[in-house]
Structure 1
Amino acid sequence: MLLDCCRSSSESWVLLGSAGIPIWDWSSVCVVLLFTVLQMVLYYLPVGQVAEGKMGCDGKHLKYKLNGLYAFLLTVVLLLVLWFGGVLRAGAVMDKIFSLVTAGMAISLIFSLVLFLCPIRTPSSAHVTYDSTAKPLLKFALGQSMDPHLGIIDIKHFVMVRIGFIGWAMMDLNYLLTSVEMKNWSLSLLLVIVFQLIYILDFLIDEGSVLTTKEFTEEPIGFIMILGEFIWIPFFSSLPVYFLLQRPNSIHFLSAVPICLLFGIGFLIYYLSNEQKDGFRKNPNDPAYARLNTIRSPAGSSLLVSGWFGWVRHPNYLGDILMMFAWCLPCGFTSVLPYLPALQCFQLLRKRANEIEESCLKKHREAWREYCRRVPYKLLPYVY
């Protein structure tokens, strides 16, 4: 529906069947399946480090193959070879955007059903325990296993990184090639694509950061998570780019300067605060953090109350939000559609910040209350 709304008002609706564009196409199913199989094969690349994640049910740390950056680069090379060789026409892929979405939905459903009905053998302690009144549909939607594996492939890691983020990058690059074919590229379109690719590349370079996220460590994998990685991340996150292809918006070079500054400031806040958080967590005695003020917690750890985390309680989330609003601004203000991913991100991060703070209060008790007193703002200084 959101993709359909991005189309020009002079064009017919696709979902009402009046535009003549199919919303189901077997070639689109083949494209999604081939992309999924390719990422599974690339997961076995003998490059990249093997990182330890959370503690498994057997008392040992789970291990993950972190070669997403190499998988991404090889996928990009393959895409460009097919395009320059004339085998692939990017515009033809974009013409099938609606059938690609429905194909992703169908494959997500089948994938989730297989995982639910024929669960991969894992110890019972690795399964999620639901209340006795929980319906099978709830277990199917949320998942019943925390860390299912298929060979060396951790399924949760695979769908989050390889399907979600690499799929998002492939949609952006396909949109870029489409604009080249249509000779319809613009500064606004280039800004959005470059910003998003920088964000994706940073994530893939620091792929291990996903191993400590709440979704990865505390939530099972079910239909909602799988559907989100096949559909929400690749197609919804790239909505501003699709919008600009359908409704071009020209901006002056001088207008691009403050937009680039906003993205750059957001990226620096995001990157440097995450670096400070991860470095302090790994080695709080590092001389680099000697000048930072801390509060000793009853849990045995220390809370930062200066540096980035003395400014707001979740500076990495603030950087995330600024970057996402920056890559929406080139779309102009004629519609709220391209801003929906940024608004949804703000709501998601606001909710996640509240969940983290509830968990921190239980863990650190009075030390956390003192931290909140000294750092009163969650996301926006002097605002929220």
Structure 2
Amino acid sequence: MNLNGPHGEKGSPAQRPGAGSSTNPRWNNIHLFAVCAFLTGALILLLDACHPPSEPWVLTNLARTPLWDWTAATIVLVFTVIQAILYYLPMGHVAEGKMGCHGKYLKYNLNGLHAFVLCAVLLVGLWYCGVVTGSVVTSRVLQLVIAGLAMSALLSLWLYFRQSHAHCSQHSNGGNTAGFLQEFALGKETDPRVGKIDVKQFAMVRIGFIGWAMMDLSYVLTALERGSLSLSLLLVATFQFIYILDFLIDEDSILTTKEFTEESIGFLMILGEYIWIPIFSGLPIYFLLHRPNHIHFLYTIPLLLLYGIGFLFYYLSNEQKSGFRKNPNNPAYAHLKIIKSPSGENLLVSGWFGWVRHPNYLGDILMMIAWCLPCGFTSLVPYLPALQCIHILRGRAKEIEASCYEKHGVAWEEYCRRIPYKLLPYIY
């Protein structure tokens, strides 16, 4: 079994800004309040910065551009309801995840790909027939942030007050020792459910990733409406669609992640799914929609190579890790070298993980750099999602290695001696 790191770290460019247990010492009330209060405002400022410098800032002109918009609120509500309905589609398959509190494995409907395809076809069909326009969404992105904030607050309050009535709640460590702010912001339940819908899976996959794809699609449709679909915007959208589709095809990858199995769900996680993943991750496309950067078609060749190399690192290393974890005796892995651990498990020391310790993270980073570069170098704003991802992946790598050292001891020391580089050979 390969424990060089957890498989399924997909979706890392859009990390939830604050998931954690209610007793996590990294979070105190001052920190939590600051994040809750300023996260939405920071995203609005970044979106505002994507507009041409000649345009006035929205926050200085609220009389003409109010941040609350009922159409935006309706879009968020309708999207949420549609995703809840599509969760029950008799498509895809049902997978077993962690052990629930009743002594039975929790089951999850894995039809996110089907839900996305249906939503995309519906949106494009309505757009083609002239029923809706892409600008209905893209002209209200700032208002969608506020609507997402309101929806996140309502759902978090429902989760908070619902917990006291739950017959069998899977609570994070600490019980009810945390105060209201920590319980509201970080949550107490790890696996809240409404009927068959697992709230965390629903938020991560249906709201976060499908929402991200639908926002990107709206940007593309808006560019078509304006007759300004540039090669750079199309390239970024294509790169992100491939990434999202890979995640949805391998939807069960989230079921083994630490965030999914151990962390509770509260306001910060839900807010991350409603505004951070769909909107912050799509910042490069939003930037190009308002500040086009025209590139020569020859420039796409190195970008395609960079993205392709990153995708291969990301996909193949995750597949190798997953396959070896599921069946280390598979003949396909007979050539791989291992280090036996005192824990009874094995560490891969060849293949992708014989090159660097976290090749999947390296692939993640290369892909995000590839979809930021078409934005040019006139602003730092479209590069912020990639910079955030690099920072988070470095931190995650550090946590994983600390956990592996604690579990494997001298075996992990030997692995680090033989594979000294974390992400970049001979550099880092």
Q: TM-score range by the shorter chain?
A: over 0.9
Cα distance change of structure 1 residues 55 and 180 upon mapping to structure 2, 3 Å threshold: same
Aligned partner of residue 134 in structure 1, secondary structure: coil
The residue that corresponds to 1:288 in the other structure is 332
Matched, 1:265 2:309: yes
Q: Could you tell me which runs of 5 or more consecutive residues in structure 2 were left unpaired when the two chains were aligned.
A: 1-44
The residue that corresponds to 1:52 in the other structure is 96
Aligned partner of residue 327 in structure 1, secondary structure: helix
Deviation at 1:292, TM superposition (A): 0.5
- Whole-angstrom distance in 2 between the partners of 1:132 and 1:29: 33
The residue that corresponds to 1:67 in the other structure is 111
Cα distance change of structure 1 residues 206 and 311 upon mapping to structure 2, 3 Å threshold: same
* Superposition pairs of residues 158-307 of structure 1, within 5 angstroms: 158-307=202-351
Higher relative contact order (CA 8 A, sep 6+): 2
Which of 323, 333, 340 aligns to 2:384? It is: 340
Cα distance change of structure 1 residues 178 and 132 upon mapping to structure 2, 3 Å threshold: closer
Which of 55, 58, 62 aligns to 1:14? It is: 58
Cα distance change of structure 1 residues 55 and 339 upon mapping to structure 2, 3 Å threshold: same
Cα distance change of structure 1 residues 19 and 6 upon mapping to structure 2, 3 Å threshold: farther
Deviation at 1:131, TM superposition (A): 7.8
- Whole-angstrom distance in 2 between the partners of 1:195 and 1:45: 28
Task: Tell me if the contact between 2:134 and 2:221 (Cα under 8 Å) persists in the aligned partners.
Answer: yes
Matched, 1:79 2:123: yes
**Which letter maps to 1:148?**
P
- Whole-angstrom distance in 1 between the partners of 2:426 and 2:362: 13
Deviation at 1:19, TM superposition (A): 8.0
Task: Tell me if the contact between 1:12 and 1:19 (Cα under 8 Å) persists in the aligned partners.
Answer: no
Deviation at 1:133, TM superposition (A): 5.8
Task: Tell me if the contact between 1:54 and 1:217 (Cα under 8 Å) persists in the aligned partners.
Answer: yes
Task: Tell me if the contact between 2:339 and 2:348 (Cα under 8 Å) persists in the aligned partners.
Answer: yes
Matched, 1:123 2:161: no
Matched, 1:88 2:144: no
Deviation at 1:122, TM superposition (A): 4.7
- Whole-angstrom distance in 2 between the partners of 1:22 and 1:229: 23
Deviations 1:268-324 (A, max 9, x none): 000000000000000000001101000111221111000000111111111011000
- Whole-angstrom distance in 2 between the partners of 1:113 and 1:323: 37
Aligned length: 383
Q: Could you tell me which runs of 5 or more consecutive residues in structure 1 were left unpaired when the two chains were aligned.
A: none
Task: Tell me if the contact between 2:185 and 2:266 (Cα under 8 Å) persists in the aligned partners.
Answer: yes
Deviation at 1:380, TM superposition (A): 1.5
The residue that corresponds to 1:361 in the other structure is 405
TM-score of the superposed pair, with normalisation by structure 1? 0.97
Deviation at 1:25, TM superposition (A): 0.6
Percent identity between matched residues is 66
Aligned partner of residue 56 in structure 2, secondary structure: coil
Deviation at 1:132, TM superposition (A): 7.3
- Shifted more, 11-20 versus 73-82: the winner is 11-20
- Whole-angstrom distance in 2 between the partners of 1:364 and 1:123: 34
Deviation at 1:92, TM superposition (A): 2.6
Deviation at 1:118, TM superposition (A): 1.8
Aligned partner of residue 307 in structure 2, secondary structure: helix
Deviations 1:17-52 (A, max 9, x none): 268222111111111000000000000001111111
TM-score of the superposed pair, with normalisation by structure 2? 0.88
- Whole-angstrom distance in 2 between the partners of 1:252 and 1:110: 47
Which of 74, 79, 104 aligns to 1:35? It is: 79
Task: Tell me if the contact between 1:53 and 1:212 (Cα under 8 Å) persists in the aligned partners.
Answer: yes
Matched, 1:378 2:405: no
- Whole-angstrom distance in 2 between the partners of 1:45 and 1:83: 24
